[in-house]
Chain A
């Protein structure tokens, strides 16, 4: 499998890995086919992502895309994050092989879920948002 240098770099040196205490939003996504799971924690200040952390179980590309996903989310407005696409995530690791596109799907899905969770909490709701790819 040929992976980009950017992907390999994110896999070797993941950015923003770990969990966050008292986040403003949490979201996760699982990919049923392979059991890959990505979870993102957001700290939001003035409607923008001020800090972001990830925890991921999955193959190398999913771990790398999670790391790249945190860089994409950093500083971005929550409303922007709500519409983050798989293509944005795939581009952030300089592309993914066709057989590994699920990495971008699970990461984009989890980041959108975290943004939705932030919005729901602000509107009085509580609890982690989750979505699922089947």
Chain B
């Protein structure tokens, strides 16, 4: 335990040292523009294409099915707007707990005349595939459902949803930003036509992500300019970022399986320890169908931000489920959609574990968190009277 414990890996991760090493030459002598014909350009191009192969190999797809973008948000925008614009009009099915990159893109399209169905989730955060079936319309042009939610980690039955989409010939987009490199993704088996996946959640650099586009998926580009990425995404490639992304994925291929087992055990030990030591605490998200390192807790009678601040002062980084802006606290829309009562939802705290976390980290948190909750509760009139 180095004095600081980072438990916010769903927000971002530390770049793997091997990734940093792989990127460095591309800030230096291999600085060329991959579109250039000369040697400098060819060196940069080679870096980009090696990364493309690393990622294609990992997801078992062909290299011409991946487009590099600037982040998960851009990948989601490109997928949804790209498919929608190719059709011009129609109906889109999504869920109420998608990332804002999906929700707000769908809302934008509503303003452009598209119809959107936002499906509810159950108490564990699961979308019911039967709801998808019931929501289908003759003019449905896209189904977009996330693989796992970043706040609670619940893993959706994308295989069942994909089967429905395939049966009806409707493109199926999956926001896989939180699952990519953490749990297996079977593009063919799940029936996925478009997959958003990002680098900085899996120990790669920020500012780079990918979109898988299954061959034959009808879509148009949303960013216009040069001929980059087979005319699907204009703009000079982020070469060092892409090289780092490829390396990060190669490392994931090596580490993912064992890490998932280790983090699941660590996360469960965290929950067992907290629930044994702290009264009035609940676990949000599916008990088992959940991201390996994700633990979302609600402490009744405390406000999340006071826990986040208290832990921060002890060197522990977690995130708050509710966000306060100018005295307006919005309880997490994900927890609200899951039906978590408001007095619990206000006290939600998310801890997300990653490759650097150790047993000693969890021991330390189990030592400092219970007295912190007790102290804050002792100040609260709600808990006392």
Contacts and interface: CB of A to CB of B under 8 A. Distances in A.
Interface of A: 3, 8, 11-12, 14, 17-19, 28, 31, 33-37, 39, 54-60, 63, 66, 98-102, 105, 133
Query: What are the 3 tightest A-B residue pairs by CB atom distance, in nearest-first order?
Result: A102-B327, A34-B329, A60-B309
20 contacts: A11-B306, A11-B309, A11-B313, A17-B378, A17-B379, A19-B381, A31-B327, A33-B326, A34-B324, A35-B329, A56-B379, A56-B381, A57-B303, A58-B306, A63-B379, A98-B326, A99-B325, A99-B326, A100-B327, A101-B326
Given A56-B380, A60-B305, A63-B376, A12 B313 contact: yes
A35 B322 CA distance: 12
Contacts of B326: 33, 98-99, 101-102
Contact of A55 (B310, B324, B329, B379): B379
Contacts of B378: 17-18
B328 interface: yes
A102 B309 CA distance: 17
Q: DSSP class of A's interface residues: helix, strand, loop or mixed? A: mixed
Contacts of A102: 326-327
Contacts of A37: 381-382
Interface string B373-385: 0001011111111
Contacts of B324: 34, 59, 99-100
A33 B383 CA distance: 20
Interface of B: 301-303, 305-306, 309-310, 313, 324-329, 346, 376, 378-385
Nearest to B342: A35
A33 B306 contact: no
A118 B357 CA distance: 54
Given A55-B385, A56-B380, A133-B327, 13 more contacts: A3-B309, A11-B310, A12-B313, A17-B379, A33-B328, A36-B327, A55-B379, A55-B384, A57-B302, A57-B379, A63-B376, A66-B379, A100-B327
B197 to A, nearest CB: 31
A100 B303 CA distance: 14
Contacts of A3: 309
Given A19-B384, A55-B380, A60 B327 contact: no
Contacts of B382: 37, 57
Contacts of B328: 33-34
A14 B385 CA distance: 19
Given A31-B327, A34-B324, A34-B329, A58 B309 contact: no
B302 to A, nearest CB: 8
A119 B380 CA distance: 26
B306 to A, nearest CB: 5
B331 to A, nearest CB: 9
Nearest to A99: B326
Contacts of B305: 59-60
A33 B346 contact: no
A34 B309 contact: no
Given A12-B313, A33-B327, A102-B326, A63 B306 contact: yes
A57 B329 contact: no
Nearest to B346: A35
A98 B325 CA distance: 9
A109 to B, nearest CB: 12
B38 to A, nearest CB: 48
Given A8-B313, A35-B346, A36-B303, A57 B381 contact: yes
Contacts of B385: 19, 55
B379 A59 contact: no
Nearest to A8: B313
Nearest to A34: B329
